């Protein structure tokens, strides 16, 4: 199997509201924009139904060569950086060739790490109010949200929001690159509590 095609999303500084909701493992849609007035070869990047930017102009030809059917390829968020203390959030996308990609739900670090089973599923709000408060700034039990594993002992910070749906930032490692990633969750999301098999 060949290595995936990766790129850092361009123009993301204009789409920060949508980018703030992106998480490692999210599915990415790549959409050609032949009527784009600035670049007829532009490829739009969407996550969770919202535009977050474009494939860099100098990489669109390389992407088309890598996977001519890029609009139906398997593309996911591989890395999320920044987004705190006034910094822009950056997103790296990984694209697999369609013929090599297996239809699957991404499971992040769980895929290559220890085997877990689900103890119970509950709203993240309840987890945060009970389990996280027992260890100051650390996750007290392994969790999985949207297929991404948050190991026990992971550092976290709370970002208060006016609408009450606070964001919780977790420092994990990207399963593909091993690099540190700041992973955002919101209090209205469902969370799986895990135990080792």
From the list 184, 194, 136, 144, the residue with the least C-alpha distance to 17 is: 184
117-135: burial string, b at 16+ Cβ within 10 Å, e else: eeeeeeebbebbeebbeee
Element (H, E) at 136: none
pTM of this structure = 0.52
Residue-averaged pLDDT of the chain: 76
Lowest mean pLDDT among 59-73, 93-107, 140-154, 168-182: 93-107
Interval 72-92: pLDDT, tens: 888 888 888 876 666 788 999
What pLDDT, on the 0 to 100 scale, is given for residue 126? 67
Element (H, E) at 64: helix 60-66
The most confident of 52-56, 64-68, 179-183, by mean pLDDT: 52-56
What SS3 class is residue 22?
coil
What pLDDT, on the 0 to 100 scale, is given for residue 105? 34
From the list 79, 68, 69, the residue with the least C-alpha distance to 7 is: 79
What pLDDT, on the 0 to 100 scale, is given for residue 165? 65
What SS3 class is residue 142?
coil
Interval 92-128: pLDDT, tens: 999 988 655 443 333 333 334 456 777 777 777 666 6
Domains, the chain, with CATH or none: 5-96 (3.30.70.2330), 108-196 (2.30.30.30)
């Amino acid at each position: 199997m060949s290595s995936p095609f990766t790129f850092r999303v361009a123009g993301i500084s204009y789409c920060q509201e949508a980018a703030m909701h992106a998480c490692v493992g999210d599915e990415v849609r790549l959409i050609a924009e032949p009527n784009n007035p600035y670049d007829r070869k532009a490829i739009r990047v969407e996550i969770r139904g919202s535009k977050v930017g474009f494939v860099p102009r100098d990489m669109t030809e390389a992407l088309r060569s890598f996977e001519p059917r890029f609009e139906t390829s398997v593309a996911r968020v591989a890395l999320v950086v920044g987004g705190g203390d006034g910094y822009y959030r950056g997103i790296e996308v990984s694209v697999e060739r369609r013929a090599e990609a297996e239809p699957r739900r991404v499971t992040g670090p769980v895929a290559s790490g220890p085997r877990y089973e689900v103890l119970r599923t509950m709203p993240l709000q309840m987890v945060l109010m009970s389990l996280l408060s027992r260890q100051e700034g650390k996750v007290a039990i392994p969790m999985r949200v949207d297929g991404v594993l948050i190991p026990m002992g992971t550092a976290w910070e709370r970002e208060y929001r006016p609408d009450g749906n606070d964001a919780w930032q977790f420092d994990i490692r990207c399963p593909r690159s091993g690099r540190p990633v700041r992973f955002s969750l919101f209090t209205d999301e469902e969370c799986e509590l895990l135990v080792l098999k």
